[in-house]
Amino acid sequence: MHKILLILLFPLTCLAQPKTFSESKKLADQIYFDNKTELYCGCSYQGKQINLKSCGYIPRKNQQRASRVEWEHVVPAAVFGKQLQCWQKGKRKGCVKNDPKYNLIEADLHNLIPVIGEVNADRNDFQYAWLPEKPTKYGQCQTVIDFKKRKMMPRKEVRGIVARISLYMYDRYNLKLSKQDRQLFEAWSKTYPVTQWEKTRNQRTACIMGWGNDYVSRVSLSMCKSNQTP
């Protein structure tokens, strides 16, 4: 029974923790191998190709980037990078080249989600926030981006997910988080409870990283040791 459950949760043996963002992107696909849905709009995808019709997405202005899936940092690289000395000397490129700690934070798979490339570009390094505006920029996609305020509000189905990832990242890496933002994330986490997919994703990610996100669920690393068939 345990072996059958293991295969459903994660079809591979425990893998080495990625040390760079490039390594983590290659491993991320294995976490989502049976759930090919990007988060911000709910579009399905195959390979790197987004099925825009599956969620009624209409490109805002970049058709090419709207048609591909990209791996988004829930807590943006600029947010945690600016809290490290390397960012002052060379921003992201300087951190990638000179700071192993930055690379490990950037490679944390708990912080990566698949999204439409155009929305990833538009989000930039904007923080999440509650926004009163109605979603109008991407067809039927319910995510809202306010370029003037430099804020983003994800669709309600994923607000709990991004909140729990954010709380995990700020806590694990001792990042500075405003009281207002923490209250928002805690409110979203409470309003939008953990889903079964989140728990599955957390377990699979733990099999690679070596630890889970406690804001989501407890994980069992013993379930990562074998991929033998029953």
Instruction: Give yes or no for residue 11 having a pLDDT over 70.
Output: no
Residue type, 155: R
pLDDT score recorded for residue 12: 45
Going by pLDDT thresholds of 50, 70 and 90, the confidence category of residue 13 is: low
Instruction: Give yes or no for residue 6 having a pLDDT over 90.
Output: no
Q: CB of 126 within 8 A of CB of 138? A: no
Q: CB of 192 within 8 A of CB of 159? A: yes
Question: What pTM does this model have?
Answer: 0.91
224 compared with 168, residue with greater pLDDT = 168
Residue type, 167: L
Closest listed residue to residue 175, CA positions, set 71, 28, 90, 77: 77
pLDDT score recorded for residue 16: 79
Start-to-end C-alpha separation, the chain: 8
Separation of alpha carbons 34 and 111, rounded Å: 19
Instruction: Give yes or no for residue 227 having a pLDDT over 70.
Output: no
pLDDT score recorded for residue 89: 87
Can you tell me the mean pLDDT for 8-21? 69
pLDDT score recorded for residue 217: 97
Q: Which residues of 26-39 are buried (b: 16+ CB within 10 A; e: fewer)?
A: ebbeebbeeebbbb
> pLDDT for 64-104, tens place per residue?
999 999 999 999 999 999 999 999 988 999 999 999 999 99
Can you tell me the mean pLDDT for 157-183? 97
Total length of the chain: 230
> pLDDT for 109-167, tens place per residue?
999 999 999 999 999 999 999 999 899 999 999 999 999 999 999 999 999 999 999 99
